[in-house]
Amino acid sequence: MSSSSTVLEDGSRLSRIDRTFFHLESTLTLLGGIVILLLVFLASANVLGRWMFDLPINGYVDWVEQAMAFFAFLGIAYTQRMGGHIRMDMVVGHLKGRLLWLSELVSVVLMLLITLVLIYGSYLHFYRAFQIGDSSIDINLPTWPAKLVVPFALSILALRLLIQIWGYFRGVKQGGDSPIAVPLIEDAATVAAKEAESVMGSLTEEETKS
């Protein structure tokens, strides 16, 4: 399941690297959101053009296909940092302390190995498309920029996984319940309490303004 999480910070080198890298991840996620917004405008223009003037946008499907890689992959490292990816934590949720961080460390190492394989395969896919000049069917839109996004975004994810490996290793070494630079998964009760606090805070602000 996916859960809400908290990432703790302090003045250590690991935390500084984590925060700096998070700015890059946030920027890439913002770019993915901008692509989605542009697709909304493109879809609206296509529908209105077809309905009002019988003039749909030429190559609409080709543009949508190429844009999908951008918004699907640019936010993948950001989501990993925030602990937002789907995960099964029925067993891990019962672990505490060093045993928990060790299990998380093993999981992230396995994720890194799989990610490195995917980077290699997706880069070869991009390079082949670049070499042969692969393009879309309708308007001959080059496909290599969209295919390049995949190994690039996966490389950012690999760097994020390295940071988390560092964080979990520190957690195993130091023990405790609050390692830094890694997502600390919150249970349903904590998430509900934070949401209730947020709602109550919003209501209090509205009452103060009125």
> Rounded to the nearest 10 degrees, what angle do helices 144-174 and 60-73 cross at?
10
pLDDT at residue 209, as a whole number? 60
In this predicted structure, the answer to whether residue 2 has a pLDDT above a threshold of 60 is: no
pLDDT at residue 178, as a whole number? 86
Q: Where are the beta strands (DSSP E) in 49-185?
A: 183-185
In this predicted structure, the answer to whether residue 159 has a pLDDT above a threshold of 80 is: yes
pTM over cut 0.75: yes
Cα gap 72→80, rounded to integer Å: 13
| For the chain, domain boundaries | 11-192
Cα gap 135→129, rounded to integer Å: 8
Tens of pLDDT, residue by residue over 91-148, are: 777 888 899 999 999 999 999 999 999 999 999 999 999 999 999 988 999 999 999 9
Percent of all residues in the chain with a pLDDT value above 90, rounded to a whole number: 69
Residue-averaged pLDDT of the chain: 89
**Which amino acid is residue 41, in one-letter code?**
F
